[in-house]
Structure 1
Amino acid sequence: MGNPALLGGSIEKQFIPCYNFLKTLVDSDENIARILKRSPRILSCNLKVMEPNVELLGEAGVPESFISYMLIHFPHSVQMKCDKFKRSVDKTIQMGFDPSRMMFIRAVHVLCEISDQAWENKIKVYRRFGLSDTEIVSAFRSHPLCMRLSEEKITRGMEFYVNEMSWSPAIVARSPVALFYNLERRIIPRCRVIKILMDKGFVKEYSTVISFLSMTDPQFLTKFVLNYKNDLPEIMDVIMLDRSRRIIVGSCLK
């Protein structure tokens, strides 16, 4: 039946002007198709909203290529009401993001998509684990999507790192992407392997958790398990092989 949002619009007064505006920014019909796939309603968006938002990015010093990227990947953000969009841009600048870097676009996107109340609630969760506002902003600058995680996911991840691994909250703040991984399937099994090696003095405490969490399963197995199997035969007990024989670091370590 098509997109209901487009049925009541005028082709000449709405869709064509909107299409032409997008075409000047993203160059190709292929990119416009990518935008429409993410946001079918964009052709019915009021240009009096979208144009000022795009102009604001340019005035802030955002390169045209990054503006195009935002339209293609985060089209909903550019359709935000102008006052909300301006507050998001202003807040991003106030937090020290460089408009000439891609991270600026990612931060604006997150601030557009999250309500003020949700932002404050997540700030409170991070504070609960002893992080200062400066550390929280630093984490956001490192990986803006850390403020899009649910409060539950933030809490469970921080509780494990701080309470179970006895790591400083600052370690997680320096590598907030560590909170994105699956707790049961990746974080807990790998951290338990690392903890054994740390307790036995084979590896020093990691200043960044992302170095071993981001490895593929075979990479982690080779570096942190097979390399120590002669000195610590019991470490092999944490290895499981699934039916497809893909190597997995298991959670059977007690």
Structure 2
Amino acid sequence: MAPMLLNRSKDTLRCRFEFLVSEVGLEPGYIAHRPVMLYYSLEGRLKPRYYVLKFLKENGLLDCDWSFYTAVTRSDKYFMKKCICPHQEAAPHLAEDYAAACRGEMPSNFRFT
């Protein structure tokens, strides 16, 4: 279903897979049916969007139940419009934190209570 994955290094795929299983909590079978998730950058897309979703869910700000797959596969513009912009008042630094996370920096404002 995702032949271009054969061009990726085993280490790259393993790191992404391990993050999706251990940190995000996805089942290996779920990932196998949605291999496109393994295409995306761990530092530039997977982790930042996971941190945003986790922050929003833990603080009761996510009004719909987004799957991680949906969050990862949507364009950055769409993700910003649906997950970041609606929460500017409740979480004013969320856009900045997300941008920093996309650069590989773990922002201090992501607080998981």
TM-score normalised according to structure 2 size:
0.71
Structure 1, residues 27-84: CA drift from partner, whole Å, max 9, x if none? Answer: xxxxxxxxxxxxxxxxxxxxxxxxxxxxxxxxxxxxxxxxxxxxxxxxxxxxxxxxxx
The AA in structure 2 aligned to 1:181 is Y
Query: 1:222 is matched with which residue?
Result: 81
Partner of 1:191: 50
2:37 to 163, 178, 187: 178
- How far apart in 2 are the matches of 1:227 and 1:249? 19
Q: Which protein, 1 or 2, shows the higher relative CO under an 8 Å CA cutoff with sep ≥ 6?
A: 2
Checking the alignment, whether the CA contact within 8 Å between 2:84 and 2:95 is kept in structure 1 is yes
1:162 is matched with: 21
Corresponding residue pairs, total? 105
**1:206-254 deviation per Cα after TM superposition (whole angstroms, max 9, x unaligned):** 1x61x3223332222111101122233342341438xxxxxx9554335
Q: Is the 8 A contact 2:46 2:72 kept in 1?
A: yes
Can you give the 5+ residue segments of structure 1 that lack an aligned partner in the other structure? 1-141, 242-247
Which secondary structure does the structure 1 equivalent of 2:65 belong to? Answer: coil
| Residues 162 and 168 in structure 1, CA contact (< 8 A), matched pair in contact too | yes
Give the superposition deviation at 1:165: 1.5
Native 8 Å contact 1:157 1:183 kept in 2: yes
State how far apart, in whole Å, the 2-side matches of 1:205 and 1:222 are. Answer: 14
The sequence identity of aligned pairs, in percent, is: 24
Relative distance call for 1:229 and 1:174 in structure 2 (3 A) is farther
Cα shift at 1:205: 5.3
Q: CA deviation at 1:178?
A: 0.9
Give the counterpart letter for 1:204 in structure 2: D
Shift of 1:155: 0.6
What corresponds to 1:235 in structure 2?
A: 94
* 1:204 corresponds to: 65
1:191 Cα deviation (Å)? 1.5
CA distance in 2, matches of 1:249, 1:223: 17
Superposition deviation, residue 162 in structure 1: 1.2
Q: Secondary structure at the match of 2:99?
A: strand
Alignment-mate amino acid for residue 31 of structure 2: V
Supply the AA of the counterpart residue of 1:146: L
Aligned 1:90-169 pairs, distance under 5 A? 142-169=1-28
- Is 1:252 the counterpart of 2:106? The answer is yes
